[in-house]
Chains A and B, each alone.
Chain A
Amino acid sequence: MQQLFMASATIIIGVFGCVGYFFVSNLVLDTLLPPRGPEAGRNISRAAQIRPWLFLLPAILLLSVYLVYPLVVSVVLSFKDSQGASWVGFDNYTWLLNDTKFRESLGNNLLWLLVVPAAATFFGLIAAALTDRIRWGNFAKAMIFMPMAISFVGASVIWKFIYDYRGEGQTEVGALNAIVSAFGGTPQAWLTVEPTNSFLLMVVLIWIQTGFAMVILSAALRGIPEETIEAAILDGASPLQIFARIKVPQIWGTIAVVWTTITITVLKVFDIVLTMTNGQWGTQVLANLMFDWMFRGNDTGRASAVALVIMLMVTPIMVWNIRNARKEMR
C-alpha cells in the first residue's frame, strides 16, 4: 500500500513538476524578454530562438542520459577488462571471435533473422488478405492480434505447455506430443532436441508478431487505389492473380517496413530464450548471451562487446530509417 502511495505521489510530483517547469521557464523567458516596449521586435525574435530549447530540454536530457551516454560508455567498456578497471585493447573482441558460444549465438541469430520476419510477414499478409474479405473479419483480426498484448514470458509459459514432455509411459498433456503420438510418432522432450528446438522457439515469436504484420499490411491493402483492381478484374484476372500481381507489388514499401520492424524485435529477442531454454541445447542468442555475461559471468567488458555486436547488426536498419524519414519530411 505504502508503495502504491509512493507511486501515486511520484505521478503527481512528476506531472506537476513537468507542467511547473514548462510554465515557470516560459514565464521567466517572457519576463526577461518582454514582447512589448521599445525593443519588442528584437525580444520576440530572441525569445523565439530560446523557447524551443526550453520545450526540448527535459527530453534531450533524458535521451542523452538513457540512450546516448550508454552508447559511448558501452564502446569504452568493451575495450576494458571484466570490471571496467583497466584497458585490454581488442581482447574482448578476439575472445568473441574464438568463443564457440558466441558463434552459436550469432548463427542462431542469423537463423532467427531469416525465419521469423519472413514467416510473420507471410502469415500477416495472408491473414490481412483473408480477413478483409469476410464479415467477421474484425473479430478474426482481434484474435490473431491478441498475442501482441501478451508478455514474452507469458507467451513462453503458453508455449512451454504445448511443448511439454511428461516422460515415457505417462499420458502426454503437451499438445505437440499428443499430436505426434496420434500420428504414431514417439513423444520427445522437444526443447532439448537440436536443431528443432530453435525453430520451436521461433514459433513463439512468429505467433506474437503476426498480428502486428497483419494490422499494418491490412491498412496498406485497403489503401490500394480501386481502379487498378477494377481494371484487373475487367481484364479477367483471377482473385489469386489480383492478390499476387496487383495488390502485393503495390504494398512492397509497407512490407519492407513490417519486415525491418520485426527484424529489430528479433535482434533483441531475449525473454523467450531465457525462460524456455536459457540458451541450453544450442539455442543461445546474442541478447541472452549478453545477459549471461552481465549477470552470471559478471564481465562488463565481454557483455558490452556482445551488446555492440547487436548494435552493429541494427545499424543498417537505423541508417535506412533515418534516410527514409528525411526523404519524407522534404
Chain B
Amino acid sequence: MDNIAGTKSSLVWAVHMATAALVLLWVLPTLGLLVSSFRDADQIAASGWWRAVFSSEQNIVYRAADVQTQVQQGDLWVLQGNVFDGGKGEVQSFGITSRAPSDFAPGTAAPMKDGMAAQVEVNGDYRITAPKAFEGRSPRLFVTSLTPPRFTLANYSKVLFAEGIGRAFLNTMTVTIPATVIPILIAAFAAYALAWMEFPGRALLIAAIVGLLVVPLQLSLIPLLRLHNSIGIGKEYLGIWLAHSGFGLPLAIYLLRNYMAGLPREIIESARVDGATDFQIFLKIILPLSFPALASFAIFQFLWTWNDLLVATVFLGNTQDQLVMTGVLRELMGSKGGEWEILATSAFVSIAVPLVVFFAMQKYLVRGLLAGSVK
C-alpha cells in the first residue's frame, strides 16, 4: 500500500521514529543483561550497564600494604604500592579519612597524624611516610578513581564449570529432545485419521481436542504426580517425557489436522484409486507434504519444553543430575539475588539455544502461530 498517494513524508518519519522507539524499548532489557554478563562484579556494582563502554567512577577503600613491607629511606619509614593492585585506573582524588574521602588532588601530599603523610599519584602509586616505624594495621586510603571499561569472559567460564549450569544444560537437553520428537509421530497419525478418514464421532473428537487445548496444566499436576509415584516413575526422565508429550498433544493434533485437511483431495484420492493403503498414503504422501506444519509444532514444543519450569519442578527432582536450567536459575535468583554477574550469565546461557532456534526457524514459528490460534 506504500505507493498509493496520500502518504505524507512527515508521517513516514513519524512511523520510523515510533518503530525505532518501540524496538529499542523491547530490545534494551535483554541487551542490558547481555552487556552485564560480560562485566565483572565490581563494575556491575559500580555503574549501570548503559555506562559499560565509558570509564566508571569508583570509590575504593584501600588498605595500604602490610606493615611488614615497610622500608626505611633516610630517617623516614615508607609504605608503598599501587591502589589498583596491578589493574588500570585513573585517580581523581583521594582522602585519608572516611569523612573526607576526596579532599586531596592526586600528586599532593596529605598530612596525617603523628607527622605521617600520604601521597597518591594519578596512576595509583601511593607512598605513605612516617617518622617512626609503622605498627599494627596499616593505614587506609580513600580513592575516587576512573576505571576504564573492562569486559571479561570469566563469568561464562565460572558459570559453565562451577555453578552447575553446564550440567543443567545437559539435563535440559535430555528432557527436551525426546519430549519434542515423540509427540510428533503420535499426533501425525491421529491428525491424519481426523483429517482424511470417515468414522462416527470424528467431529466430537475434534471438538474435544480444541477443548483440551486450553485446559490449565495446573489441574493435571497433582493427579499425575500421584499416578507417576504409584507406578514408580515419579522422579524419572521417563515421567517428564510422557508428561510433556501428553501436554503437547492437543496443539500438535490441532495444528497438523488443520494443515493436513488443507492438502489437495485429488492427490489422496488418486493414490487410493491406485491401490495405496492408508498407511502408505500417510507415510509416503501426507508426511512429506506436512513438513512445514511438523516443523512449526517441533519448534513450539522445543521452546515450550526448554523454557518450562513448572512441569520440570513437579516431575523431576532437584538433585544435580535432574535439575534443568530454569530450575537452576530459579535457585540462583533466591540464593544469589545480588550477584548479577552470575545471574546474568546463567540467564544468557539458558536463553541462548532458544534464541538461536528462534532466529533460524522464525518462518516456521510464525506459520505455526497463524495456524495454531483458534480462528
Contacts and interface: CB of A to CB of B under 8 A. Distances in A.
Contacts of B202: 52
Interface in A202-229: 207, 210-212, 215-216, 219, 226, 229
A243 to B, nearest CB: 11
Contacts of A314: 214-216
A81 interface: no
A11 B30 contact: no
A321 interface: yes
A4 B7 contact: no
Interface residues on B, range: 35 or more
A14 interface: yes
A257 B370 CA distance: 11
B218 A287 contact: yes
Interface residues on A, range: 35 or more
Interface stretch (B80-88, B144-152, B191-199): B191-199
Interface of B: 1-2, 4-8, 11-12, 15-16, 18-19, 22-23, 26-30, 32-33, 36, 44-50, 170-171, 173-174, 177-178, 181-183, 185-187, 189-190, 192-194, 197-199, 202-203, 205-207, 209-224, 226-227, 237-238, 241-243, 245-247, 249-250, 253, 277-279, 282, 303, 306-310, 313-314, 321, 326, 329-330, 333, 340, 343-344, 346-347, 350-351, 354-355, 357-359, 362, 365-366, 369-370, 373-375
Contacts of B359: 142
Given A216-B373, A290-B218, 6 more contacts: A7-B237, A11-B178, A62-B249, A63-B250, A144-B22, A158-B33
Contact of B174 (A4, A15, A130): A4
B307 A154 contact: yes
Contacts, number: 355
B2 A133 contact: yes
A321 B210 contact: yes
B4 to A, nearest CB: 6
B187 to A, nearest CB: 6
Interface stretch (A89-97, A160-168, A192-200): A160-168
B174 A175 contact: no
A270 B243 CA distance: 18
A26 B45 contact: no
Interface in A131-184: 131, 133-134, 136-137, 140, 142-154, 156-162, 164, 166, 170-175, 178
